[in-house]
Amino acid sequence: MDYGVGKRWTERRDGKSKDFVREDIEAERVRLNIAGVKCSKAKKLAAPKLKLNVSKTRYDDSSRSSDFRSTVTYELNLGPQDNKINEWIEENNLALREFALTDIENSVLIEQRDILRKIKYLEEAYAIASKNLQQAQENFEFSKMSFQKGLISNIDLRDAQEKLTSAKRNAVSLAIQHRVNRYQFYYTMGRDL
């Protein structure tokens, strides 16, 4: 059975689709986006600065040949900025968030694969348990008929009944475990239980 390990999966109802995504992965993606925005802001602040001042002064004095004066001043700072440390910190935070997202995605994949292995094991174990249950049912019926004919004792009949009860418990336990593991798998895919 293919459960779509590691993929976003979609459930379709009434022609609409709903993507199921784990909240912890989505939260980590949001943190990564925030770290990316902070990193780009830090890069902008750490870029070389150019300050340019333009001024125009007008004189009302008629003794001057021109009645205005203009000045342009600029300051160009090409060396390392004070904010370069902040840029480095934000770049490292961004890299850490990328690693964290990759780590959580990998851990989800591992969790999904482990649950799939367990589900497959439980399916195989349930097939065996259902055969054992069928055999125990047949043995109990045979023991019941043999007891009615007086061929076996009451102890043998109780033993057959205990084996039947044990086989039923085992089959029910495996069915419950299978269902629980299926729900755990759906949860790892991001679907609410």
Answer whether residue 1 is part of any domain: no
Answer whether residue 10 is part of any domain: no
Answer whether residue 15 is part of any domain: no
Tell me what the mean pLDDT of segment 24-33 comes to. 89
Q: Band the pLDDT of 25: cuts 50, 70, 90.
A: confident
CATH number, residue 177: 1.20.1600.10
The domain of 84 spans 20-188
The vertex-128 CA angle with 171 and 147, nearest 5°, equals: 70
Q: What is the pLDDT of residues 77-110, one digit of tens each?
A: 665 566 677 888 889 999 999 999 999 989 988 9
Q: What is the pLDDT of residues 45-69, one digit of tens each?
A: 776 666 666 666 665 666 655 555 5
How many structural domains compose the chain? 1
Answer whether residue 14 is part of any domain: no
Q: What secondary structure does DSSP assign to 133-182, as a single string? A: HHHHHHHHHHHHHHHHTTSS-HHHHHHHHHHHHHHHHHHHHHHHHHHHHH
Answer whether residue 193 is part of any domain: no
Answer whether residue 30 is part of any domain: yes
Tokens representing residue 97 in the block:
């968030």
Which pLDDT score, from 0 to 100, does residue 12 have?
Answer: 42
Phi and psi, residue 77, nearest 5°? -115, 105
Q: What is the pLDDT of residues 127-150, one digit of tens each?
A: 999 999 999 999 999 999 998 888
What Cα–Cα distance (Å) separates residue 176 from each residue in 122, 126, 134, 179? 10, 10, 19, 5
CA gap 24, 19 in Å, rounded: 15
CA gap 144, 139 in Å, rounded: 8
CA gap 178, 120 in Å, rounded: 9
Nearest to 138 by CA among 163, 105, 121, 110: 163
Answer whether residue 6 is part of any domain: no
Answer whether residue 167 is part of any domain: yes
